[in-house]
Amino acid sequence: MAMRESKNSNFHGRILFRKLPPSITGDLARSNQLGIVHLIDKIDHRQGHPQRGSNMMVLVLDRGKDDFKPEWTVEMLGTFRLRRVGRDSASVKFRSRTAESLVALLSLRLGGSTSRELLANTFWPDSDGDKQAQNLRKAFSDVRSVLEPEASDPKILLIQGENVVLDPRKVATDVSQFKLLTDRGLSDIQTEASLAQAIELYRGPLLPDRSDSWIGLYRMELEERLGQSVERLISQLLKCGQHQAATLLGRRVLSLAPLREDIHVALMRAYASAGLTTEAIRQYEELEGLLQEHWGEQPSAMANLVLQGLSKEPARPVIPAGRESNAENSGGALFANSPFYIERPSDQVIAGGIRRRESTLLVQGPRQVGKSSLLARVLNESRSEGTKVALTDFQGFSRDQLATVESFYKGLLFSLARQLGAKLSYEEVWSDWLGPNSNLDFAVESVLTQVDQPVVWALDEGDRIFGTSFADDFYGLVRSWHNRRALDPQSALRHLTILISYATEAHLFIKDLNQSPFNIGLRTLLQDFDRVQIQDLASRYGGKLSTEETDSLWHVTRGHPYLTRKALDWLYLRGHSLEEICTLAPSESGPFSDHLRRLVEVVTRDPETAAEVGRLLRGETFLESKSGSRLIAGGLLVVNQEGKVDFRVPVYRACLARGLSVA
């Protein structure tokens, strides 16, 4: 619901841009409790005042008079409670859970009309039309028996024709108050006070005891607002030197939203600012464990960049006890200033493209080849050269965020706006009657107009959304941004560079490459280390490999960046000989044991993948034509010099044959 102050002297309040049926709006207009309600046909956005001319209805609440006093309050953050104002504080119960959910949904859409059809399909999707109508009438009756128990009671549930609305004069919600406070705080209006009040009001996730699909998008929006608010308030507290208050705030909110990575990162910053480096590292480890436990994922590149900033010492990284290699615990991603980072030709290709302000840059490579490390490095360099940088890691998106195109697009917008320091209000940039692509397009341009510098927006793990219902639409929109940069030099997109990293061949999932960014722009293939790069990496440990030793190590790791790091850790940090490393490589007690164990777990977890790998081990042909490309992208296979598919690293064959019991 978009809000803005009216500039017309005849209007003393806020205009609520909501499409309401004339009959309902008429009922409201005839009421004296609201103050002044104006029916307006059209809003002239250029003049900022209403004009006549179309059938759009707008509700105007006159704040020049005394604010109306609600009769009911609905609490939905942390639990569901319905209370009558002025009566005892006990929560009122409905006769059915569906009636309670119905009030919750209408409360989340407070002031806006909801069609009977939407309600019926939301709560009884498997019933036929007659049964849906019967269930809906019963639910309405249950709601009215609580909200309007006496015939003389004023109507709160307004039903006219096909539309339903809760009277916004008589109902107040904690969600509406939370959104109002975060809007103020994130718009630099009474920032600290508003954000503190909003965070205090957040007692937990929206309707936490419900798993209905319709709740997910609302819940995600509120959690995103919470994350933004905590980040902003912690930043403000740190600027004022209130380190203890910042850390206490972060710890308290994490108890309510333990899986919010942005809050973990904000708390890491608070610890670091207070000089509590050990606590910041522990917070990273806690985040790492939670992500692994719940989703089998690693912290995002943004979290790793914050961890990187804990030490500006450019020497060899400190290796905490029990963690032989930082790369092991960060999924292979290295800090931007890591002394172990080895530049490859792709680094210069991407860095040069950013300096030339190319429109679209593509980094392709298999898993664990170093794409995220490359992104971290070039983005750090770009930032130091005055470019605004945003990094969106699709691997960090939850299942709820990837469930629908709307939740995915809104997650993208929050990520972009937050990192660019831009103001973003869904109510102002998102319209239900526009398609998702049009909404995202308009919103991205709105964000970019607030930034004067060149912008690099990096999308890491871009193939995470391949195969979703909205992948073609999203990447088609990215393609259109590329085209419009050339066609419209005055567009807000003129300063934008999109940088996408991905592993899977796009043509396997994108129906029309001509409607995607994957056959345009500047593309580079990031490859495993060659022998010279292995020698260079060994020198970073203070060692030196002969040509023969380099050959021996290369035949074991084939230049796999992560495995090469592990082997050199064993050689230079743990005192093993190269001969021991080569001998123990495929064993469960060797340098790659954890990596190989996870590999077997991943392969055997999916019966189809396990079957295809088994066929390769037996020298048979894949059953599915896409299997080879999929397993190459996954970092398991490569195409060898003979043009045949083979295991990327020789030890993969041995450990998978053992794990799949293939002789």
What residues are paired with 457 via a beta bridge? Answer: 390, 498
Q: Which of 83-92, 434-443, 534-543 has the lowest mean pLDDT?
A: 83-92
Q: Do the domain assignments include residue 54?
A: yes
pLDDT of residue 497: 95
Phi-psi region of 297 (alpha: psi -120 to 50; beta: other; left: phi over 0): beta
pLDDT of residue 560: 93
Q: How many domains does the chain have?
A: 5
The CATH number for 77's domain is 1.10.10.10
Q: Which residues contact 246 (CB under 8 A, 6 or more apart)?
A: 234, 237, 238, 270, 273, 274
Q: Do the domain assignments include residue 344?
A: yes
Q: Do the domain assignments include residue 294?
A: no
Residue with tokens 């391949």: 466
Q: Do the domain assignments include residue 179?
A: no
What residues are paired with 157 via a beta bridge? Answer: 166
Alpha-helix runs per DSSP H in 39-96: none
Residues 57 and 91 in one domain: no
Residue 151 — very low, low, confident or very high, per pLDDT cuts 50/70/90?
A: low
pLDDT of residue 135: 92
Residues 442 and 560 in one domain: no
Higher-confidence residue of 358 and 90: namely: 358
Residue 311 — very low, low, confident or very high, per pLDDT cuts 50/70/90?
A: low
Residue 505 — very low, low, confident or very high, per pLDDT cuts 50/70/90?
A: low
Residues 495 and 568 in one domain: no
The pair of structure tokens assigned to 112 is: 């806006």
Q: Do the domain assignments include residue 225?
A: no
CB 525 within 8 A of CB 365: yes
Length of the chain equals: 663
How far is Cα 260 from Cα 133, in angstroms, rounded to an integer? 40
CB 581 within 8 A of CB 570: yes
Residues 106 and 38 in one domain: no
Higher-confidence residue of 315 and 481: namely: 481
Residue 198 — very low, low, confident or very high, per pLDDT cuts 50/70/90?
A: very high
Residues 400 and 519 in one domain: yes
pLDDT of residue 67: 52
CB 25 within 8 A of CB 39: yes
pLDDT of residue 1: 33
pLDDT of residue 488: 86
pLDDT average, residue stretch 11-16: 31
Going by the DSSP 8-state scheme, the letter that residue 508 receives in this structure is: G
What does the pLDDT look like over 98-115, one tens digit per residue? 999 999 999 998 878 889
What does the pLDDT look like over 53-96, one tens digit per residue? 333 333 333 333 445 678 899 999 998 999 988 766 677 888 88
pLDDT of residue 333: 66
pLDDT of residue 448: 94
Question: Of 333, 346, 309, whose CA–CA distance to 499 is shortest?
Answer: 346
pLDDT average, residue stretch 219-240: 90
pLDDT of residue 12: 30
Picking from 61, 82, 102, the residue at the C-terminal end of a domain is: 61
pLDDT of residue 190: 61
Q: Do the domain assignments include residue 586?
A: no
Picking from 504, 527, 550, the residue at the C-terminal end of a domain is: 527
CB 282 within 8 A of CB 329: no
Higher-confidence residue of 428 and 118: namely: 118
pLDDT of residue 368: 82
How far is Cα 126 from Cα 133, in angstroms, rounded to an integer? 13
Residues 540 and 521 in one domain: no
pLDDT of residue 152: 65
Residues 436 and 563 in one domain: no
HSE-CB at 650 with a 13 A cutoff on CA atoms is 14
| Structural domain harbouring 48 | 2-61
How far is Cα 299 from Cα 303, in angstroms, rounded to an integer? 6
Residues 541 and 558 in one domain: yes
Residues 84 and 49 in one domain: no
Residues 446 and 542 in one domain: no
Average pLDDT, the chain: 80
Residues 44 and 78 in one domain: no
pLDDT of residue 426: 75
What residues are paired with 362 via a beta bridge? Answer: 500, 523
What does the pLDDT look like over 539-549, one tens digit per residue? 988 889 999 99
How far is Cα 336 from Cα 219, in angstroms, rounded to an integer? 34
Residues 487 and 517 in one domain: yes
CB 171 within 8 A of CB 110: yes
- In this prediction the pTM is 0.56
CB 368 within 8 A of CB 431: no
Q: Do the domain assignments include residue 284?
A: no
Examine the pLDDT at 528 and tell me if it is beyond 90.
yes
pLDDT of residue 33: 32
How far is Cα 42 from Cα 51, in angstroms, rounded to an integer? 5
Q: Do the domain assignments include residue 183?
A: no
